[in-house]
Amino acid sequence: MDVNIILALFLAVIMIVVAVAALMAKRVRTAVLAAGLVSLVASIMFLLLAAPDVAMTEAAIGSGLTTIIFFYVLNKIRRSDV
Amino acid sequence: MELQLLIGSLVTLAGSVFIFLGALGIVRMPDLYNRIQAGTKASTLGTILSVAGIGIMNPDWAGKVFILIAFVMMTNPVSSHTLARAAHHIGIALSKKTVVDKLKEDGPEENKKED
Amino acid sequence: MIFVLSYLTWLALNWSVETDILITGAGISVVIGLLFCRNCTVLQTVRLTPKSFAYAIAYVFVFLWDLLKSNIDVAGRVLSPSLPINPGIVEVKTKLNSNIGKMLLANSITLTPGTLTVDIREDRMYIHWIDVSSTDIEEATKSIVKKFEKYLEVMYG
Amino acid sequence: MEQYLTLQNIGIATGFALILIGLYGGLTNKNILRIIVSFTIFNSGLNIVIVALAYLKGRVAPIIDDTTGLDNLSQKFVDPVPQALVLTAIVIGLGVTGVMLAYALKMYQNKQTLNINDFKETKW
Amino acid sequence: MYKNILILALLVGLGILLSTAITDREENTSLPELPAYYADNTAKEVGAANMVTAVIVTYRGFDTLGEVTILFVSAALIAMFLKTGNRRKNRNPRPSSVILSTAQKLLFPLIILFGAYVFANGHLTPGGGFQGGAIIATAFLLWLMANPEGEMRHGILSSLEAFSGTFYVIIGVVGVILGVGFLNNSILPLGELGRLFSAGAIPVIYSLIGLKVGAELSNILHHLNEVQNEE
Amino acid sequence: MDSVKIILYIAGALILSGILLALWRFIKGPRTADRVVAFDLLTVISIALMAMVAFFNGRIIYLDVALVYGLLSFTGVIVVARFIEKGL
């Protein structure tokens, strides 16, 4: 078995677990953090799939800026469940 | 050449041991501040060592490895400090083992001048 | 100063000394220094003397040694089954005046496991310490800050 | 079983799973912010599927450097076109997410609610 | 509740349908014709080592122009949604600590420099205008974190955006005038592969795209920052 | 060469188990700040993981992605920290 395949299986399991955690989360901020985590793992997956450009974009935009914009909006909506 | 590879891989192994200990610490520690202590710091050293080991194995990569280490060392303490400050501000409790909390005794912060 | 820092970073990023890279790096560094950082005066307080360079190098080694030592210490605490921690927030005083000196000191304290800067007000720092041995200001200052401060004082005053 | 366990299939399966999770979250939630979070998960899954479809076994990233050499490149590289498309898709996804969030914020400021069943004016 | 179960059942059906994509698909072993052409000819036609960059900037230059326009439109839409009358009336955020503001002053030029490295080397290493723009926006965000109530000179961002957008189109038109086609990179001479100045106009175009994207994303963040806080 | 590979495999296994532990803390919580600590830890770990992927594939260009993480991961943590202290 190739080491890349083992790593990819591991990452796939983690991504699905975190995505389900994002759905089950009680508060919206946890869901946002979990979605950022899905992007983070996805970018390692892109690296394994031989796409460093896409991995870099996902790192800078998907995992970074999207989470940041979400938190800016959550800051304006302060309720008990966000 | 062989020796260089061996040294590099051993340094990487040491780094990954520190990463594992940091992750263990984040699970075992009782409150937030101790988690920051054990978790983030140990894993920062672990990452630095892992990346440095890879830099030893491939001397051509030394420039980027050096910059990566410098970035991690500059940015990580700042974020830890900001998180700890925010947590103390909203009053996340310290664990029961805590001996002293000087910051709370000194009261809320006075209006300080930024320069 | 910003120019020198940017240029060194650029060279390390590219890791080659061909003419086109040198020219482009110089251009970008000048633009950054002039356009974006008119108020980045944070580095003005750095003293550029041979002594401070020597102390900077010595500081790096002292810091790395301390980092390794305290990491092993905290790793031992994590691994031992009874979790021998004795945490608390103590107060220390620093003699450094410049902002960048304070920042480097706080970063060094934070990066060393076992101590974590929680807040900083004027010349007092509040430090979360994983193993409090004394709650007195002087004693705590002596055991946490002094080893870094004597080097930073020469560099930044 | 063994022949299905390739990097490409793992990528496709993960992407599909993320797409389904995102769709489920988008269809069942009432809170508009949660719907947007589900949308971003859906987006990531879609990108993974497209990149995984472009992957070819044993080939490397389409960037020429010392390790690849200069000749016979079409036998060595994975497909660059879907990667370029996904790159644009990610950036546009950020724009779309930003617009949706700004819209949600505006609606919340007007009505003080996040439940999509309360926004009846634009229903058709 | 029945609705959720129905949706779940539908999605399971969709999943079974999609799983045939794995079981019935034949493994490709070679590239299709067009990507094979790109892979073989990029080095001597465009002079870029990174093929994704070559596809984005040169072969599909029009698409990228459209994409930058979409980003611009979304930034304008966000600005329109968030324009409220009484902005910044009683936002009183907690001031940042000395450490954060000092570190921001130290890190700001470094992050900008790294963004410039990413988009100036877009044709040699992974990266390019969009990633570099995002990195520059992050530097701006760090500034906002350290000075949440800082007064931004709004003119710089707008003029930077307008300047880079205009020059981007002008470079395209220069290609038409020289008779090589809109947004063709060979208006500047190609150099030896692997050098910084090897790919004709690609670094210039990508730098302009990077500045524009960075200014747009910074604008979005700035608008979001200025909305009045909920108390 | 073989012993080097075995050592690196052990290191990779340790890193992966570190990811699992941090993930457990992320799911368990109990507060947002704890989750952010786990998030920070995961980004730092993934820098090491990316460097190892770059080594196994033998290409320096993959290190650029790790550089982006090394420079940008901390802004996310700072944003969340400023969010929970109402400093945004």
pLDDT tens string F7-54: 888 888 888 998 998 888 888 877 888 888 888 888 888 888 888 888
- What distance in Å separates residue E142's CA from the closest CA in chain F? 7
pLDDT of residue B101 exceeding 80: no
Alpha helices in C15-157 (DSSP H): 19-31, 50-79, 99-111, 137-144, 146-156
Residue B69 buriedness (CB in 10 A; 0-12 / 13-18 / 19+):
middle
Dump the DSSP string for B4-59: HHHHHHHHHHHHHHHHHHHHHHHHH-SSHHHHIIIIIIHHHHHHHHHHHHHHHH-G
Would you state the pLDDT for residue B110? Answer: 44
- Quote the CA–CA distance of A76 and F82 in Å, as a whole number: 13
Nearest Cα neighbor of B67 from E29, D40, E110 is E110
pLDDT of residue C40 exceeding 60: no
Would you state the pLDDT for residue B113? Answer: 35
- As a whole number, mean pLDDT of residues B95-100 equals 63
E–C contact: 3+ Cβ pairs < 8 A: yes
- What distance in Å separates residue B96's CA from the closest CA in chain E? 28
- What size, in residues, is chain A? 82
Which of E60, E131, E136, E140 should be substituted to probe chain A, the one whose Cβ sees the most A Cβ atoms within 10 Å?
E131
Would you state the pLDDT for residue B111? Answer: 41
The CA–CA distances, whole Å, from D124 to B22, D110, D111, D119 equal 54, 20, 19, 11
DSSP state of D73: G
Would you state the pLDDT for residue B6? Answer: 85
What is the strand order of the sheet C88-93 is part of? C88-93, C124-129, C115-121
DSSP state of D63: B
Which of F24, F49, F71, F74 should be substituted to probe chain B, the one whose Cβ sees the most B Cβ atoms within 10 Å?
F74
Q: Which residue's structure tokens are 């079983």?
A: D1
Residue D74 buriedness (CB in 10 A; 0-12 / 13-18 / 19+):
middle
- What distance in Å separates residue F62's CA from the closest CA in chain B? 11
Domain locations in chain B as residue ranges: 2-114
- As a whole number, mean pLDDT of residues B1-5 equals 79
F84 touches chain B (CB under 8 A): yes
Q: Which residue's structure tokens are 């503001």?
A: E101
Q: How many domains does chain F have?
A: 1
Query: Using a CB-CB distance cutoff of 8 angstroms, which residues of chain A are in contact with residue E230?
Result: 76-78
B101 touches chain C (CB under 8 A): yes
- As a whole number, mean pLDDT of residues C134-149 equals 70
- Quote the CA–CA distance of E130 and E205 in Å, as a whole number: 12
Q: Are E50 and E122 in contact (CB under 8 A)?
A: yes
- Quote the CA–CA distance of E109 and E143 in Å, as a whole number: 11
C106 touches chain E (CB under 8 A): yes
First to last CA, chain D: 48
Domain of F61?
3-86
Calculate the average pLDDT of chain D: 83
Both tokens of A43, joined, read: 């970018």
E99 touches chain C (CB under 8 A): yes
DSSP state of C115: E
Nearest Cα neighbor of C130 from C95, C76, C87 is C87
pLDDT of residue B114 exceeding 50: no
CA C140 vs. chain centroid, Å, equals 19
pLDDT band at B115 (very low <50, low <70, confident <90, very high): very low
ipTM of the complex: 0.87
- What distance in Å separates residue B27's CA from the closest CA in chain E? 28
Inter-chain CB proximity F60 and D65 less than 8 Å: yes
D19 touches chain A (CB under 8 A): no
- What distance in Å separates residue E195's CA from the closest CA in chain F? 15
**Could you tell me which residue, E128 or D28, shows the higher pLDDT?**
D28
Please confirm whether the linkage preceding F30 is cis (ω < 30° from 0).
yes
**Could you tell me which residue, E30 or D105, shows the higher pLDDT?**
D105
Count CB neighbours of C83 within 10 A. 14
Q: Which residue's structure tokens are 């600005």?
A: E79
Inter-chain CB proximity A44 and F53 less than 8 Å: yes
% of chain B beyond a pLDDT of 90? 0
Q: Are F64 and E127 in contact (CB under 8 A)?
A: yes
Give the CA angle between residues B111, B114, C4 to the nearest 5°: 160
Q: Which of B24-28, D1-5, E86-90, E134-138 has the highest mean pLDDT?
A: E134-138
**Could you tell me which residue, E31 or F82, shows the higher pLDDT?**
F82
Nearest Cα neighbor of B20 from C66, D50, F18 is F18
- As a whole number, mean pLDDT of residues B11-28 equals 86
- Quote the CA–CA distance of F53 and D83 in Å, as a whole number: 19
First to last CA, chain B: 53
E94 touches chain C (CB under 8 A): no
**Could you tell me which residue, D39 or D2, shows the higher pLDDT?**
D39
Please confirm whether the linkage preceding C50 is cis (ω < 30° from 0).
no
- 3-class state of residue C16 by DSSP: coil
CA C115 vs. chain centroid, Å, equals 13
D60 touches chain F (CB under 8 A): yes
Count CB neighbours of E2 within 10 A. 6
pTM of the model: 0.88
Q: Give pLDDT < 70 ranges for chain E.
A: 84-93, 149-154, 179-200, 228-231
pLDDT band at B100 (very low <50, low <70, confident <90, very high): low
Which of B64, B98, B99 lies nearest to residue C13, judging by beta carbons?
B64
Residue E152 buriedness (CB in 10 A; 0-12 / 13-18 / 19+):
middle
Would you state the pLDDT for residue D41? Answer: 92
- Quote the CA–CA distance of A32 and A74 in Å, as a whole number: 10
Calculate the average pLDDT of chain B: 78
pLDDT in tens, C103-140: 778 888 888 777 788 877 777 778 887 777 766 666 66
pLDDT band at A13 (very low <50, low <70, confident <90, very high): very high
Inter-chain CB proximity A16 and D14 less than 8 Å: yes
Nearest Cα neighbor of C74 from C146, C129, C117 is C129
Query: Using a CB-CB distance cutoff of 8 angstroms, which residues of chain B are in contact with residue F44?
Result: 40, 43-44, 47, 72, 76
Inter-chain CB proximity C120 and E113 less than 8 Å: no
Q: How many CA atoms lie within 13 A of D77 on its CB side?
A: 32
E: neighbours with 3+ CB pairs under 8 Å? A, B, C, D, F
Query: Using a CB-CB distance cutoff of 8 angstroms, which residues of chain E are in contact with residue B112?
Result: 95
- Radius of gyration from C-alpha coordinates of chain E: 23
Would you state the pLDDT for residue F6? Answer: 87
